[in-house]
């Protein structure tokens, strides 16, 4: 029997309202779903999690996938290098795993189940050696 996750993530497949859906967006307490017929809906997270028959069918990919590998075709090499550099860091912020090894253990300081995105962003800035000023 599937267990409820501590949190939903993009790409998770869920059973809701008698159909399977994919989580395609999360915003505050709203979850945007799309079913296999490509019908989109927005549901409040609390309603979704407490609805009869709700289940997580499968979890999304271990790392975000660039939608179209050819999207960078024709761009100058320095631009594509910069895009890939940012992608590595963004994937680590979102998943806790380094982009070049999606099966590596989650780095504790980037673990999404332990730290908010803001905390992980501050950690990334510290990793880069950037000073962060606290605004009181």
User: Stretch 31-48: mean pLDDT, rounded?
Assistant: 91
- Band (pLDDT 50/70/90 cuts) for residue 51 is very high
> Mean pLDDT score of the chain, rounded to an integer?
81
C-beta atoms surrounding 6 within 10 Å: 9
pTM above 0.85, yes or no: no
pLDDT in tens, 67-86: 556 778 888 999 988 988 88
Quote the pLDDT of residue 128.
87
Instruction: Specify the 3-state DSSP secondary structure of 87.
Output: helix
Confidence check: pLDDT of 65 > 70: no
How far apart are alpha carbons 16 and 47 in whole angstroms?
Answer: 10
């Amino acid at each position: 029997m599937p267990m409820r996750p501590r949190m939903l993530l993009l790409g998770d497949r869920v059973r809701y309202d008698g159909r399977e859906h994919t989580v395609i967006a999360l915003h505050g307490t709203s979850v945007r779903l799309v079913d296999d017929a490509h019908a989109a809906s927005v549901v409040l997270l609390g309603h979704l999690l407490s609805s009869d028959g709700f289940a997580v069918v499968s979890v999304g990919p271990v790392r975000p996938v660039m939608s179209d590998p050819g999207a960078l075709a024709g761009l100058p090499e320095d631009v594509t290098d910069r895009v890939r550099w940012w992608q590595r860091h963004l994937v680590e912020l979102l998943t806790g795993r380094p982009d070049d090894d999606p099966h590596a253990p989650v780095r504790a300081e980037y673990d999404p189940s332990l730290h908010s995105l803001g905390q992980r962003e501050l950690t990334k800035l510290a990793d880069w050696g950037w000073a962060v000023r606290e605004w009181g």
